[in-house]
Amino acid sequence: MKGILLFGHGARNPEWAQPFHRIRDAILAREPEALVEPGFLELTRPSFDEGVDCLVRQGATKIVVVPIFMAAGSHVKKDLPQMAANAMDRHAGLVISLAAPVGEAEPVLAAMADYALSVDPDDEGAER
Protein backbone atom coordinates (compact mmCIF):
# COMPACT_ATOMS: atom_id res chain seq x y z
CA MET A 1 0.00 0.00 0.00
CA LYS A 2 1.22 3.47 -0.93
CA GLY A 3 1.84 6.23 1.61
CA ILE A 4 2.68 9.89 1.07
CA LEU A 5 5.11 11.74 3.30
CA LEU A 6 4.95 15.53 3.10
CA PHE A 7 8.53 16.51 3.86
CA GLY A 8 9.10 19.99 5.27
CA HIS A 9 11.95 21.92 6.82
CA GLY A 10 10.45 22.67 10.22
CA ALA A 11 10.63 25.85 12.32
CA ARG A 12 10.60 26.97 15.92
CA ASN A 13 7.02 28.24 15.83
CA PRO A 14 4.55 25.30 15.95
CA GLU A 15 2.03 27.26 13.83
CA TRP A 16 4.51 27.07 10.99
CA ALA A 17 3.35 23.48 10.34
CA GLN A 18 -0.23 24.58 9.66
CA PRO A 19 0.03 24.56 5.82
CA PHE A 20 1.31 20.99 5.94
CA HIS A 21 -1.80 19.89 7.80
CA ARG A 22 -3.93 21.78 5.30
CA ILE A 23 -2.22 19.96 2.39
CA ARG A 24 -2.86 16.67 4.22
CA ASP A 25 -6.52 17.62 4.67
CA ALA A 26 -6.80 18.54 0.98
CA ILE A 27 -5.35 15.15 0.01
CA LEU A 28 -7.78 13.33 2.32
CA ALA A 29 -10.68 15.36 0.91
CA ARG A 30 -9.73 14.04 -2.55
CA GLU A 31 -8.84 10.49 -1.46
CA PRO A 32 -10.27 9.65 1.95
CA GLU A 33 -8.38 6.34 2.04
CA ALA A 34 -4.98 7.90 1.35
CA LEU A 35 -2.17 7.33 3.82
CA VAL A 36 -0.53 10.71 4.23
CA GLU A 37 1.57 12.21 7.01
CA PRO A 38 3.89 15.18 7.43
CA GLY A 39 7.51 14.68 8.46
CA PHE A 40 10.05 17.41 9.19
CA LEU A 41 13.80 17.77 8.94
CA GLU A 42 14.20 19.66 12.20
CA LEU A 43 12.50 21.64 14.98
CA THR A 44 8.93 20.56 14.11
CA ARG A 45 7.34 17.21 15.07
CA PRO A 46 6.68 14.67 13.69
CA SER A 47 10.22 14.17 12.44
CA PHE A 48 10.86 12.50 9.08
CA ASP A 49 11.44 9.19 10.90
CA GLU A 50 8.28 9.56 12.96
CA GLY A 51 6.26 10.30 9.82
CA VAL A 52 7.67 7.23 8.07
CA ASP A 53 7.05 4.99 11.10
CA CYS A 54 3.49 6.25 11.33
CA LEU A 55 2.83 5.43 7.66
CA VAL A 56 4.38 1.97 8.06
CA ARG A 57 2.18 1.27 11.11
CA GLN A 58 -0.84 2.14 8.95
CA GLY A 59 0.26 -0.44 6.39
CA ALA A 60 2.35 1.51 3.88
CA THR A 61 4.87 -0.61 2.01
CA LYS A 62 5.82 2.05 -0.54
CA ILE A 63 6.27 5.66 0.51
CA VAL A 64 6.52 8.62 -1.83
CA VAL A 65 8.26 11.53 -0.17
CA VAL A 66 7.03 14.86 -1.55
CA PRO A 67 9.40 17.69 -0.60
CA ILE A 68 7.36 20.77 0.28
CA PHE A 69 10.28 22.92 -0.77
CA MET A 70 10.60 25.47 -3.56
CA ALA A 71 13.63 23.76 -5.05
CA ALA A 72 16.17 21.06 -4.39
CA GLY A 73 18.77 22.61 -2.12
CA SER A 74 21.06 20.62 0.16
CA HIS A 75 18.23 19.46 2.46
CA VAL A 76 16.48 17.80 -0.47
CA LYS A 77 19.61 16.67 -2.30
CA LYS A 78 21.73 15.45 0.61
CA ASP A 79 19.82 15.14 3.90
CA LEU A 80 16.68 13.58 2.45
CA PRO A 81 18.27 10.68 0.49
CA GLN A 82 20.30 9.80 3.60
CA MET A 83 17.22 9.83 5.84
CA ALA A 84 15.30 7.76 3.29
CA ALA A 85 18.12 5.20 3.10
CA ASN A 86 18.22 4.95 6.91
CA ALA A 87 14.44 4.47 7.05
CA MET A 88 14.61 1.65 4.48
CA ASP A 89 17.31 0.01 6.58
CA ARG A 90 15.04 0.24 9.61
CA HIS A 91 11.98 -1.21 7.85
CA ALA A 92 12.66 -4.41 5.91
CA GLY A 93 10.77 -4.44 2.61
CA LEU A 94 9.87 -0.76 2.67
CA VAL A 95 10.50 1.15 -0.57
CA ILE A 96 10.84 4.92 -0.43
CA SER A 97 10.76 7.06 -3.59
CA LEU A 98 11.67 10.73 -3.66
CA ALA A 99 9.53 13.05 -5.78
CA ALA A 100 10.65 16.40 -7.16
CA PRO A 101 9.96 19.36 -4.83
CA VAL A 102 6.53 20.99 -5.17
CA GLY A 103 8.24 24.17 -6.42
CA GLU A 104 9.15 22.34 -9.61
CA ALA A 105 5.53 21.42 -10.40
CA GLU A 106 4.06 23.74 -13.04
CA PRO A 107 0.51 23.90 -11.55
CA VAL A 108 1.96 24.87 -8.17
CA LEU A 109 3.97 27.70 -9.74
CA ALA A 110 0.89 28.78 -11.71
CA ALA A 111 -1.14 28.93 -8.48
CA MET A 112 1.60 31.06 -6.89
CA ALA A 113 1.58 33.40 -9.90
CA ASP A 114 -2.21 33.75 -9.65
CA TYR A 115 -1.93 34.44 -5.95
CA ALA A 116 0.78 37.10 -6.46
CA LEU A 117 -1.39 38.86 -9.03
CA SER A 118 -4.45 38.71 -6.78
CA VAL A 119 -2.84 40.58 -3.88
CA ASP A 120 -4.08 44.14 -3.68
CA PRO A 121 -1.61 46.51 -2.00
CA ASP A 122 -4.55 48.57 -0.71
CA ASP A 123 -6.18 45.55 0.93
CA GLU A 124 -6.39 45.51 4.66
CA GLY A 125 -4.94 42.02 4.50
CA ALA A 126 -1.60 43.38 3.42
CA GLU A 127 0.49 44.58 6.34
CA ARG A 128 3.11 47.24 6.48
Just list the catalytic residues: 9
Q: State yes or no: residue 58 binds a copy of itself (CB under 8 A).
A: no
Q: Residue 69: name the closest of 96, 46, 98 by CA.
A: 98
- 37 close to 24: Cβ distance less than 8 angstroms: yes
The secondary structure element, H or E, covering residue 116 is: helix 106-118
- 102 close to 67: Cβ distance less than 8 angstroms: yes
Write the interaction track for a copy of itself spanning residues 1-40; mark x where CB under 8 A is met and - where it is not: -x-x-x-xx-xxx-xxxxxx-xx--xx--xx--x-x----
Q: State yes or no: residue 117 binds a copy of itself (CB under 8 A).
A: yes
- 36 close to 60: Cβ distance less than 8 angstroms: no
Render the burial of 14-49: b for 16+ CB within 10 Å, e for the rest: eeebeebeebbeebeeeeeeebbbbbbbeebebbbe
Q: State yes or no: residue 82 binds a copy of itself (CB under 8 A).
A: no
**Please, what is the minimum distance in Å from the beta carbon of residue 50 to a copy of itself?**
19
| Residue number, 57 or 117, with CB nearest to a copy of itself | 117
| Residue number, 50 or 104, with CB nearest to a copy of itself | 104
Residues of this chain that interact with a copy of itself (CB under 8 A) are 2, 4, 6, 8-9, 11-13, 15-20, 22-23, 26-27, 30-31, 34, 36, 62-64, 66, 68, 70-74, 81, 84, 95-100, 102-117, 119-123, 125-128
